[in-house]
Structure 1
């Protein structure tokens, strides 16, 4: 479906008075497992769970909203902030306890899986910190790009390539454990605009905004290619979030800046962003599969 048509359908869907009653689907999915990192778990968004608290798992994250709209009778959300591809099969220590390997939630009868993973493998949080510090010292230059390309090759491009291979292995693991599941690989909302940024709200240097945006675009493109090659479906929030990044006004943005105006962790989706991602996932299921 073309982007304009899909966005039009999405906006109609999300402006319905009561989305859950507007859908009225027959029960198509019985056991839904949500896997992933903080862009799926929703740290800071209401209402935060406590199993463990350090995962930042919100009831109104995109998996929670999607499960509600689909009326899934058995929903398991094991997403956790800071998760990497390694935490699909290994436990993750977080403040307040330990998140078990996320694959532990998968069962033979699981029929729907969503997964948002790869950002922490590339090192987005460390990149944001390092580039923010560099930008504070040189706001008109491109110190971050200079740092990551100083060797003559682009370190972040290499990380994206390596992450794609890891995600391919993750999808093979999902297929092995839940062979009949519909799998949605869900990409990342746009964090920064493609050109001019908003220093000091997000203190990237002027020349580094476009560089970071290209890295994020490359990751989303890689995830899409891996998903398709594995027989999964890709949900692409990045494409639809132009002019909805962390530099936009509070009422417009879907990702918060360093000082959030809405309940959300800095440089993470707010509740509106999660709702959009849930809507895109729902539309992907609706138009890709008949009841």
Structure 2
């Protein structure tokens, strides 16, 4: 267990930052005051330094500035006691692929008036499959993130937290998931490759893994109690939400998984 008052640094992309979950405490990063890092810190009385940033890649964690924000690893210090890491999805364009496919399929529907060939051309502008080299690159990058974090904070407990599942057993093509029966399995395969990258990096470095992907399989889009949002064209300012991202229930669930790991 991490002692109360200890320094906790949260690293990662939007699945850690929590865009769309009120209150947003840092709009440029889409960082929520109710993301899993804030919930864990509040529960344990930790001093939180949250540098998660929507759109971040492993490069933004390691050595590349993002919108003027320094590389996230710069937040780590020798006295840091806890580090959580959720990043790598943007390296694979995981959510980006899902969003583009959903957007183009939504456009393709009215385009069928112009003919099925036109509609199919619109849909075909998204590639859903990645090669093994792409997944290995993410594995290697996550491994490097952990190794560099350990160099900067040698006493810290480091936890890799993977991504909540978007496409699960209950997910079917519908208005808030505008992909067809051929496209959905490809998104699921992409998610499996990302989860495997986390597992391999955790095994290679000996750090803890919170497998949010496995825990949320029955809470994917279309389930009775989803932990992620579906698709919408409406922005949050007009009553919409941030599509294909954790909702408040999902963030609470991930926080509970992290707390469970810390307590065992």
TM bucket (normalised to shorter chain) is 0.7 to 0.9
| Structure 1: runs of 5 or more not aligned | 1-24
**In 2, Cα distance between the equivalents of 1:145 and 1:217?**
22
Q: 1:195 to 1:162 in 2, by over 3 A?
A: farther
The aligned counterpart of 1:60 is: 34
Alpha-carbon offset, residue 156 of structure 1? 4.8
CA deviation digits over 1:238-268, x for unaligned, max 9?
Answer: 111123112235xx11101113999852110
**Contact 1:29–1:111 at 8 Å: present in 2 too?**
no
The aligned counterpart of 1:271 is: 248
**Contact 1:55–1:81 at 8 Å: present in 2 too?**
yes
**In 1, Cα distance between the equivalents of 2:184 and 2:59?**
29
Alignment of 1:1-291 (within 5 A): 27=3, 30-50=6-26, 53-72=27-46, 74-88=47-61, 89-93=63-67, 98-133=68-103, 135-136=105-106, 137=108, 148=127, 154-194=129-169, 196-249=171-224, 252-259=225-232, 264-287=241-264
**In 2, Cα distance between the equivalents of 1:156 and 1:145?**
18
Q: 1:221 to 1:133 in 2, by over 3 A?
A: same
Instruction: Count how many residue pairs are aligned between Structure 1 and Structure 2.
Output: 248
TM-score w.r.t. the length of structure 2 is 0.85
| Structure 2: runs of 5 or more not aligned | 110-115
TM-score w.r.t. the length of structure 1 is 0.77
Helix, strand or coil at the partner of 1:120: coil
Q: 1:38 to 1:189 in 2, by over 3 A?
A: same
**Contact 1:263–1:270 at 8 Å: present in 2 too?**
no
Helix, strand or coil at the partner of 1:168: helix
**Contact 1:197–1:247 at 8 Å: present in 2 too?**
yes
